[in-house]
Structure 1
Amino acid sequence: MKAPVELRDNPDFIFRGIVRFGYTIMSIASTRLKNDPIFMLKAIEASGYTFMYASSSLKKNRKFIQNALEISSIIYPDLQKKWQIEFVEYGLRSPCINFKYLPSKYRNDLNIIHQCLGSVYRDIKVQYRDDEMLCKKAIRLNPHNYTYASQRLQNDPTIVMAAVMSDGSMLEDVPEKFRDDENIVYLAVSKYSSSFQFASQRLRDNDEIARMAIMDDPCNFRYASERLRDDDVLAQFAMDGYGRFNYEYLSLRLQQNPMMISLKNSFTLDDGFMGCQ
C-alpha cells in the first residue's frame, strides 16, 4: 500500500506481487493497468479472482469477457447478467462453483441439472430434490446428496437404501426409524463397519451385525450391547485387537478374567499408531 505511483503502474511489479501474495495485490494497481486488457488477461491467468479489479469498461467489453472466460471460468459469477446468459456454457465448466450463479432459466433446465447434478444437488430447487430419479442419480454421484433430498425422499426406504449402499457412513444421517431397520443397518455396516455406532440399541445387540462390525474393526466392540460385551469369543477378539483400549468396555465378569487382564497388560502399540479414537 506504500508503493509509489510508478510501481503501482509497473505491470511486472504488480504481476510478481499477484504471483507471490495473491490476487488482492490488484487493489493497489493503477487505473491504467486495471483498464489494460493485455495485462488484465495475464493477471487473470495467474488468478481468476483478479477479474473483480478490472475496470468497468473492460467488464462491458464482449471480446475481453470471452477471452477472460477462456482463461478462467471462475470469473463467471462476477459477470453482468447479460454476459452470464450469453456465455452460460462457461458457467457450466465449474458447476460446483457456478451453478447457483446461473440465470434462473438455466437452473430450471433439467438437461443442465442432469449435466452437473453430483456437485449442485443442494442448490437446485426443492421441487427437483423431490424427484426420485434425480435423487437416486445424485446419491450415486455423491452419497452425501441424500441430506439435501426432500423430507419425503429422506423418509423413503428405497432412497435410504441407496444412500447407505453408496456409503455406509450415511447411516448417521438417516431418520432414527431406519437405524432400527435390520436390512438397512446390515448393509451400512457391511459397507462401513464404523457405522455400527449409529445403529439402534436393539440392533447393537444383534449377534450377526455386531460380529460383522467387530471382526472388521475391534474398535466397534465399545458400541456393542452389554450382553455382547459379555461374550467370551467377541471379547477375546476385541482384546487381541486393541486390548488396552477395549478392556474398559468388557463386562465386569470379563474384567476379572485372568486371560483378559493378561491381554490388557501385554498389548503394545506400534510407533505412531493411535488405536481406537
Structure 2
Amino acid sequence: MSKEREKVKCKTELEFITEVVDECVANLKDKDREHLIRNPYAIDYHFSYCLYIRNHYIHNRDFSDVDFWTDPDDLSSEIIRMIFAKLIPEYDYDNQFIENLFNDKRFIQLRQEYRAIYGDYPMTMVEEYKEDISFEPALSMSEIRSSNNVDIDKEIEVSRKNHEKSCAHIEKLLKKLAEKVWRLDHLRQTAEECGIDYEELIPKIQEIQKILFEDREYIPVEVCLLPYKKAIGQKRYIEYRRRLSKLLEEHPRLMEKLDLSYFNDRVLAKVVLKYRWSLGVLPQYQDDEVMVRYSLSHSGEAIEFASKRFQNNREWAKFAIEHSANGTIMYLDCMKPYRKDKELVYLACKVERWNFIYVDKSYRDDFELAKLCMEQGGNLNTIYEYMSARLRGNKELAMLDLQEDFPNTEYYSSKLRNDDEIAAELFRLHGADSWAWYHMSKRLKKQYKIEEM
C-alpha cells in the first residue's frame, strides 16, 4: 500500500520555497555547503541536488489545496537560488541582476579565480554593480501566474528591456573582474623577468580576451606563456599547463579556440585526444604511433583521422574496432576494406550491433551474426528490417526481438505475425496495449481481444 502524500499547507509559493530551503540548509554537510558557495551555478545541479529536492520535497507532496504554480522543475530552480541566497551574502534572491549574473558561467569561473588570487570572493564589486542598476517595475512570474488581469505583452516588453539592461551591466562587471583576475601588469613583470618581449604576447592576450567576451569561455591569461617553455622555467610551465589541462578536462572544445601550437606539448595533447574529433584537429599526431594508439584506445572511431598507414593496416583496424563501444565504426569510409572481413565484421557487431547495417550485404543472411546482434538487446536501433527475408521469418530471432522494449513486429514475416507462440510471448511480455499488436494478424488480435488502434 502506497504511503499517503503529505499535504502542502503553505499559502504562497515563497512560503513553500522558504520552508524547504530552511530544511535543506540546516541539513547541509560542510563540504556540500562549501561546494555550493564555490559553484553557485544553478543549472549544474538540475540532475543532482535539484533532483534530490524534487524527489524529497515536491514529487512526494500533495499540492491540491494550493493556489500557486507547482511545476517541479520551476520550484526546484527557485529553491536552489534561495539556497544560494542563504549561503552567499551578495546573492540577492529577488534581484534580476544577481540572477542573471550568477547564471553566467563566465562570472562563476572568474569569481573562483578571484578567490584563488585574493583569498575571498568579489563581494564588494558585485554589491557596487548591483546598487548601480535600476529596473522598470515588473511582476514576478508567481504574480503573473496567480493574476487574471495582467497585460502580458507589457510584462514581456518590460522583462526584455530589463534583461538587456542587466546583460549590458554584467558585461561591464565582467570586464573589470577579468582585469583583476588576469593581472596584466603581473604578466608583464613575469615576461620581463623571463626575458620575453611583452609585445609578442599581446596578440595571444587579445585572443584570450576575445574568447571570454565573444565566445563566453574563460582561459587563464598565463597560458600565453606556454610556448616559452625554456624561458619561464619548468616550475611555471608545469603550473600553467596544469591550469589549462584542468579547463580542457571540463571543456575539451576550448582547444579549437586556442593556437594549436600549445598542443605540441604531448601532455596537453593527451587531455583532448581522448575525444574522437580531436585527432582530426591535431595533424602533428596523425602519424605518431604512440599518440594514435592513445587516441584510438579512447575512441576507436578516431581512426578516420589517422594517417593512411594506420587505416590500411588490419591490426590497427582491429584495435580501433575493439575500442569503438557505442559507435558505428563500420560506417566510416576508411573501414570499407574490412566490411567483408568475417572476423572484423563479427567483432564490430559484437561491440555495437548497429554496425550490422554497414557491413557487406552478404551478411544480411548470416543467422549467427544476426543472432549475435539480436542477443544484445536494449537498443532502439533495430537491425530487424535489414536482415534477409529468410531471417525475418525466423522464429528464434523474432523471440529475441520480443525482449526489446519496442518489438518490431512490422518487419516479421506474415507467417510470424500469425504465429500463436509469437502472440503468446508478445502478450506475456507487453500485454494488450503494445503498439506491436497493430501488425499482428486479425485472427490473433481477435483472440487476444486487442482493440483496433
Q: Do both proteins adopt the same fold according to a TM-score greater than 0.5, normalized to the shorter chain?
A: yes
1:94 aligns with 2:272: yes
1:246 paired to 2:436: yes
| Residue in structure 2 matched with residue 171 of structure 1 by the alignment | 356
Superimposed CA distance per residue, residues 41-63 of structure 1 (whole angstroms, 9 cap, x where no aligned partner): 9xx9xx99433x95997576544
8 Å contact from structure 1 (residues 99, 123) kept in 2:
yes
What letter is aligned with 2:357?
E
- Provide the residue aligned with 2:341 in structure 1: 156
Cα displacement (A) at 1:176: 3.0
User: Contact between 1:91 and 1:99, CA under 8 Å: does it hold in 2?
Assistant: no
> What's the CA shift for 1:110?
1.3
Aligned match for 1:186, one of 350, 371, 381? 371
Q: 2:175 aligns with which of 19, 26, 29?
A: 29
Counterpart in the other structure of 1:230: 418
CA distance in 2, matches of 1:139, 1:102: 22
Give the corresponding residue for 1:111: 290
The residue that corresponds to 1:129 in the other structure is: 311
What amino acid does structure 1 have at the position aligned with 2:240?
Answer: A
Aligned with 1:18 (options 101, 106, 125): 106
Q: Secondary structure at the match of 1:243?
A: coil
Assess, with a 3 A threshold, how the Cα gap between structure 1 residues 173 and 57 changes in structure 2: closer, same or farther.
closer
- In structure 2, distance between residues paired with 1:157 and 1:243: 41
CA distance in 1, matches of 2:223, 2:439: 67
Deviations 1:212-254 (A, max 9, x none): 2225557233321111111111122213424232332112333
Higher helix share: 1
Q: 8 Å contact 2:226–2:241 — kept in the other structure?
A: no
Amino acid at match of 2:292: I
One-letter identity of the residue aligned with 1:248? Y
Structure 2 CA distance for aligned equivalents of residues 168 and 206 of structure 1: 18
Structure-1 residue corresponding to 2:51: none
State the Cα deviation string for residues 47-86 of structure 1 (Å, max 9, x = none). 99433x959975765447654321123365555565433x
Structure 1 distance, partners of 2:266, 2:315, is 25
**Unpaired runs of 5+ in structure 2?**
1-100, 111-169, 188-204, 249-253
**1:204 offset after TM fit, Å?**
0.7
* Amino acid in the other structure paired with 1:162: L
1:50 to 208, 218, 223: 218
The CA distance in 2 between the partners of 1:126 and 1:81, in whole Å, is 22
Q: Tell me the equivalent position of 2:396.
A: 208
**TM-score, structure 1 length as denominator?**
0.68
Structure 1 residues 238, 222: CA separation in 2 closer, same or farther (over 3 Å shift)?
Answer: farther
Structure 1 counterpart of 2:397, which letter? I
Q: Which moved more, 1:152-161 or 1:210-219?
A: 210-219
Cα distance in 1, alignment partners of residues 315 and 105 from structure 2: 49
- Deviation at residue 121 of structure 1 after TM alignment: 2.6
| Cα root mean square deviation, aligned | 4.2
Distance in 1 (alpha carbons) for counterparts of 2:396 and 2:227: 66
SS in structure 1 at match of 2:389: coil
Question: Relative to structure 1, is the Cα distance of residues 164 and 79 closer, same or farther in structure 2, using a 3 angstrom cutoff?
Answer: same
Amino acid at match of 1:237: E
- Provide TM-score, normalisation by structure 2: 0.44
Question: Do the aligned residues in 2 keep the contact of 1:147 with 1:154 (CA within 8 Å)?
Answer: no
**Aligned partners of 1:158, 1:78: CA distance in 2, in Å?**
41
The question of 1:147 aligning with 2:337 is answered no
Go from structure 1 to structure 2 and tell me whether the alpha carbon gap of 1:180 and 1:127 turns closer, same or farther (over 3 Å shift).
farther
CA deviations on 1:237-274 (whole Å, 9 max, x unpaired) are 2134242323321123334x4x22x2x25xxxxxxxxx
Q: Secondary structure at the match of 1:226?
A: coil
User: Is 1:69 aligned with 2:241?
Assistant: yes
- CA deviations on 1:141-198 (whole Å, 9 max, x unpaired) are 2242332342111332222111111122332333433222222111111122743343
Moved more, 212-221 or 54-63: 54-63
- The aligned amino acid for 1:243 is A
Distance in 2 (alpha carbons) for counterparts of 1:103 and 1:219: 45
Mark the structure with the bigger radius of gyration: 2
Aligned length: 241
Structure 1 unpaired stretches of 5+: 1-12, 266-277
CA distance in 2 between counterparts of 1:19 and 1:113 reads 37
